[in-house]
Amino acid sequence: MQPPAATAVLLLLLFLLAAAAAAASFPDRFRKRPSLPGRSPQQYIELTRPLPSSLLPAACAHRIVAHSFAHTIGSPPFSAPYSPPPPSPLCPSPPWSAVVLELSASSRGDQYDRIAAVWLGGAELLRTSTAEPNDGGVFWTVRKDVTRYSSLLSRSNLEVTMMLENIINDEFTGIYHVNVTLLFYSNEGGGDRPGVPVNQLSDRGSASNLGLGLEEFGGNGGAAAEDSVNSATSSPADLIFPVSDDGDRGSWFRIERASDLHSKRIRIPANTVRAVLELCVSFHGNDEFWYSNPPDSYIRENNLTTGRGNGAYREVLVMIDGNLVGSEVPFPVVFTGGINPLFWEPIVAIGAFVLPSYDIELTPFLGTLLDCKAHEFAIGVADGISYWLVNANLHLWLDHGSKRVQAKSVAYAPPAHSVERESQFKELDGSFKVKAKRREQFAGWVKSSAGNLTTIVSTEYRVKNSITFTRNGTDKLVRQKMKARRGVRIKDEAGVSLARAIVRRSYPLRVITSTLPGSKKDTYVVVTNVTHAQVERYSDGDSTSSVRNVQDSRGWMEVRDHNVLSGTADTRQVYSYRDEFFCYSRKAEAADGKLVGDNSTLSCASSL
């Protein structure tokens, strides 16, 4: 039997160990184990569908970034002058049938994952993150259709900038070598879907003639949205205004707290007939795993040192002149050093190489905006903590048949919004639940050379999040479900529907973490399972498209500080896309850093 004093000391040590393990069970960022000597460079991939333009050779290529990002922390972004390639027999003049941004990168050494973005004239073209390198080296290539930015890409005397803050010292040795190239595709041959006549894609009538087709609804968040952007029936915006920072640390705004609101004043042309705000966001620091953050009371009463609190609900807010006009609960992207970096080699998590953006239809508010005055476009993060990187692109379509149009907002009410929270815990064990929902509808008409058209926008989403700590806080279960429905409808003056689009999205997520003592006194073992998915369905009355992207990862790792010493990991993923013309499926599996299976077909798989 232990003496009373020794028993007290032992209990205290066990409690401190459990508290440390509980903190370790919070999702975190790690550096993966070193590669074996002599290992050849490893290619990393993100599963998605081929772009339609990928089936055709590009007419010409135009490199806009060639830079090595070494010790760039605190430095201004890389910048270079931009002009489109001069027209030639090999390179088409605008308008282009398609433009694709291709980023290729490589690195060798020891390094954390890094966030990066490419801007043109302050408008964001791509937000991405890096793979974590090793001594053998890593490389990857990503492609994004950027045809929607054609009005910017066709301009000269702009500046292209790229931000990738990196650290180089005796410990962190990985330098990121990056090339960014624009691939231009000729208009010859019609649409960008080989073998599919343009007139079979759909016909919107007068609404399409002013860029009012709804094919861009939904942003670049998934394949359904990507397909809509690529549709030949909707022309790119005539103008794009950045809602971004003018500072020297990239064009993104930095959100440090819930009260932060960053804005830009913009004067809208008087002949604007449609406005869409493309929202770009990413989350870092104490909010990188916001969906797993417990309330501050749990952290405070257990004397934990983590700053990852403020609960598990976040919402990105968009305001015009202080009025809420849209919001988004973002897809929970996991970067390559997140939760367990062994999961993400060589298959990265969904969205890690091409982070999604989110479109918010602002056409119903043109009645307020078309007064020849500058208006304040602002972005904030409800309940956000340090830190979020946010900015936006304002896409505008103009009436080329007149210098001024008439517009009026006919329906605006404060959006219905509710958040319910439940919290129950005793010491390190407990459960926390959040339920949130939002419903809103806006409407407004625009009278232009195409007639008097009314745009009606409706949004509804529901979020359920639960966090459970057991086994003295060393086991943690995070479950989140987010379902959203966005609709846009255009009617003429007689009330006849001219166009309609609906996007339904679902983002289920489950993270299971168990923390155990390691083989040495200064190490611990984390056993983790991550299952998440991106499911989207787009319909416009004439056509439908859908994407189902499911990823399941299981494994363990032994960690000292933030360095992974050893472990095993297995990641399986199924990506499927379908529309009325095309069906694509890809299934891949990785085990312990190697791709052990990768098959793609023209028939869509339904599940893992």
**For the chain, what is the largest distance between any 2 Cα atoms, rounded to a whole number of angstroms?**
93
Query: Which pLDDT score, from 0 to 100, does residue 607 have?
Result: 46
198 or 367, higher pLDDT: 367
In the predicted structure, residue 29 carries a pLDDT above the cut 70: yes
- Each residue of 480-512: pLDDT tens digit? 999 999 999 999 999 999 999 999 999 999 999
Least confident segment among 75-84, 151-160, 181-190, 203-212:
203-212
Query: Which pLDDT score, from 0 to 100, does residue 216 have?
Result: 40
Confidence of residue 606 (pLDDT cuts 50, 70, 90): low
In the predicted structure, residue 10 carries a pLDDT above the cut 50: no
- Which of 458, 386, 414 minimizes the C-alpha distance to 322? 414
Neighbour count for residue 597 (Cβ, 10 Å): 10
- Which of 59, 164, 171 minimizes the C-alpha distance to 105? 164
Please answer whether residues 160 and 80 qualify as being in contact, where contact means their C-beta atoms are separated by less than 8 angstroms. yes
Query: Which pLDDT score, from 0 to 100, does residue 233 have?
Result: 38
In the predicted structure, residue 241 carries a pLDDT above the cut 70: yes
- Each residue of 65-109: pLDDT tens digit? 999 999 999 999 999 999 999 988 889 889 999 999 999 999 999
In single-letter form, the type of residue at position 134 comes to: N
Query: Which pLDDT score, from 0 to 100, does residue 541 have?
Result: 82
- Each residue of 252-298: pLDDT tens digit? 999 999 999 999 999 999 999 999 999 999 999 999 999 999 999 99
The per-residue pLDDT of the chain, averaged, comes to 88
In the predicted structure, residue 313 carries a pLDDT above the cut 90: yes
Distance CA 40, CA 38 (A): 6
Query: Which pLDDT score, from 0 to 100, does residue 128 have?
Result: 98
Query: Which pLDDT score, from 0 to 100, does residue 247 have?
Result: 75
In the predicted structure, residue 57 carries a pLDDT above the cut 60: yes
In the predicted structure, residue 190 carries a pLDDT above the cut 80: no
User: Which pairing describes strands 138-145 and 42-44: parallel, antiparallel, or unpaired?
Assistant: parallel
Query: Which pLDDT score, from 0 to 100, does residue 8 have?
Result: 43
- Each residue of 396-424: pLDDT tens digit? 999 999 999 999 999 877 778 999 999 99
- Strand segments (E) across 415-562: 416-426, 429-448, 451-470, 475-491, 497-506, 509-517, 524-539, 544-560
Burial class for 171, CB neighbours closer than 10 Å (0-12, 13-18, 19+): exposed
Residue 549, SS3 per DSSP = strand
- Which of 276, 351, 313 minimizes the C-alpha distance to 547? 351
- Each residue of 572-590: pLDDT tens digit? 999 999 998 889 999 999 9
Query: Which pLDDT score, from 0 to 100, does residue 195 have?
Result: 28
Query: Which pLDDT score, from 0 to 100, does residue 25 have?
Result: 67
Predicted TM-score (pTM) of this structure? 0.91
Query: Which pLDDT score, from 0 to 100, does residue 54 have?
Result: 77
Least confident segment among 209-223, 287-301, 429-443, 545-559:
209-223
Q: How far is CA 406 from CA 62, 441, 451, in A?
A: 40, 21, 10
Query: Which pLDDT score, from 0 to 100, does residue 210 have?
Result: 42
Confidence of residue 13 (pLDDT cuts 50, 70, 90): very low
Distance CA 363, CA 497 (A): 16
Confidence of residue 37 (pLDDT cuts 50, 70, 90): low
Summarize the confidence of residues 146-153 as an average pLDDT: 98
Q: Per 3-state DSSP, what percentage of the chain is helix, strand, and coil (rounded to 5)?
A: 10, 50, 40
